Amino acid sequence: MEAGSEDRSAMVPNRSSVLVVCLAAALALSGCAGQQLTDDQEQRVAEKFEERLSEIDGYHATVTVSSTFDNRSFEMTTEVWARTGTGEMRQEVLAPPDRAGSKTVSNGSVMWTYNAAENTATRIEVPDVGTTNTVPRVERLVENFDIYSNGTVDLNGTETHKLTLVPNESAGPALSGTITMWVDTEKLFPVKMSMAFGEATSTVRYRNLTLDPDFEDGTFEFDLPEDAEVRTPSTPNVSEFQSYDRLADAVDRPIPGRELADRFAFERGSVVDGSTSIVSLEYADRDRTVTMQVTAAGERNPSDGENVSVGDRTAQYSEFGQMASLTWTCEDTAYTLLGQFEQETLVDIAADIECPSPR
């Protein structure tokens, strides 16, 4: 694993989702428990986002992230300083003991991650994440989630508004999980968030929260230890294709045809060349999409899903929230179908795909 990758996985949630829910809480105060916000209320959330964003300069808090996946649990506590709308952030690991001292620091354009146990640092160029780039993500969140007010509840002595965000029919694969938030009634800031994506769960808890703190000079500057090893992450090369023929000519691995199951037509594709080479093809019918990923057999960890029969082949079926996948192997090539479908539908699509002849 690349140095600092676990540190980045525990970083605080995207601030756009934090602030949009703050607004949702403010708009839902007059509603009764279990009431869904109307379309007009959700639209007001997006329209007033920039106004709310300008009111908060940043925050300082102790953040604990607890995650569970595949019967394994992980917990990390960090101290976080963040300046809203600039991408400036500092995160220092407090626990567990074997990760204490590791840190992630970003000045908005360059992010450093430091692994204290290995005494290694990684420098990453990051894109501009100012307020103008944040608003579209907020609008997408409002568009793809139904927001429910669950009334006012006490959370360890703090009065909070409890909110639930449930993906609607417009939600894509990346928004397939249900989110529950507890928003401080006084500060209108989430002090706890729980996310469930199938069998994977994650809970984020904010303590000792201070809004608009006085950031000391150098808070968002990284001091590289003199004896630290600096590592440069390898960036995969990504090529995108709108033409099926051009995609087929660009790869040396057999790929499915222009259509799947006589109703899903090729829309676009991509090739990612990195530590693992992945060919992705996106197909669509009138209202749904399905993605096919093609890799060399053995390049990815084998699925621990349910074995199902697809014609004379055996495939592995897995579910992740609203997403499902079906993976099988032909010769030296692995194929994975991904989409928001029932198992039977994915099996029917896969059964219509013959193992392509090797090139």
pLDDT digits (tens, 9 = 90+) for 308-329: 999 888 999 887 666 788 999 9
Spatial contact of 150 and 182, defined as CB atoms under 8 Å apart? no
- Asked if residue 187 and residue 91 are part of one domain, the reply reads yes
149 has pLDDT over 70: yes
Classify residue 358: in a domain, yes or no.
no
Predicted pLDDT of residue 311 = 85
pLDDT value, residue 313: 87
pLDDT at 11 over 70: no
Q: What is the mean pLDDT of residues 234-239?
A: 80
The better pLDDT of the pair 163, 250 is held by 250
Same domain, 175 and 248: no
Mean per-residue pLDDT for 327-335? 88
- What is the average pLDDT score of the chain? 79
- pTM value surpassing 0.95: no
What CATH number does the domain containing 56 carry? Answer: 2.50.20.10
What pLDDT score does 99 carry? 93
Tell me the two tokens of residue 304: 């621990």
Note whether residue 359 is domain-resident.
no
- Cα dihedral 290, 318, 146, 204 in deg (nearest 10): -130
- Same domain? For 275 and 317 the reply is yes
Cβ pair 165, 149 in contact under 8 A: no
Structure-block tokens of residue 299 = 């390049």
Upstream peptide bond of 96 is cis (omega within 30 degrees of 0): yes
Pair of tokens at residue 206 = 């904010």
Residues of the domain holding 98: 5-231
Does residue 357 sit within a domain? no
Same domain, 196 and 305: no
Asked if residues 82 and 59 have their Cβ atoms less than 8 Å apart, the reply is: yes
CB 24 within 8 A of CB 147: yes
What is the Cα–Cα distance from 330 to 287, expressed in whole angstroms? 29
Summarize the confidence of residues 90-106 as an average pLDDT.
96
- 158 and 11 part of one domain: yes
Our count of domains for the chain comes to 2
Indicate whether 176 and 257 sit together in one domain: no
Which of 26-30, 33-37, 39-43, 230-234 is most confident?
230-234
Last residue of a domain, one of 231, 253, 276: 231
**HSE, side-chain direction, 13 A CA sphere, residue 201:** 10
Going by pLDDT thresholds of 50, 70 and 90, the confidence category of residue 111 is very high
pLDDT in tens, 48-86: 555 555 677 888 999 999 998 877 899 999 999 999 778
Q: What is the rounded distance in angstroms from the CA atom of residue 199 to the CA atom of residue 69?
A: 6
List phi, psi (to 5°) of 343.
Answer: -55, -45
Mean predicted confidence (pLDDT) in 279-301: 84
Going by the DSSP 8-state scheme, the letter that residue 222 receives in this structure is -
| 68: β partners | 73, 201
How far apart, in whole angstroms, are the C-alpha atoms of residue 255 and residue 7?
36
Same domain, yes or no, for 115 and 142? yes
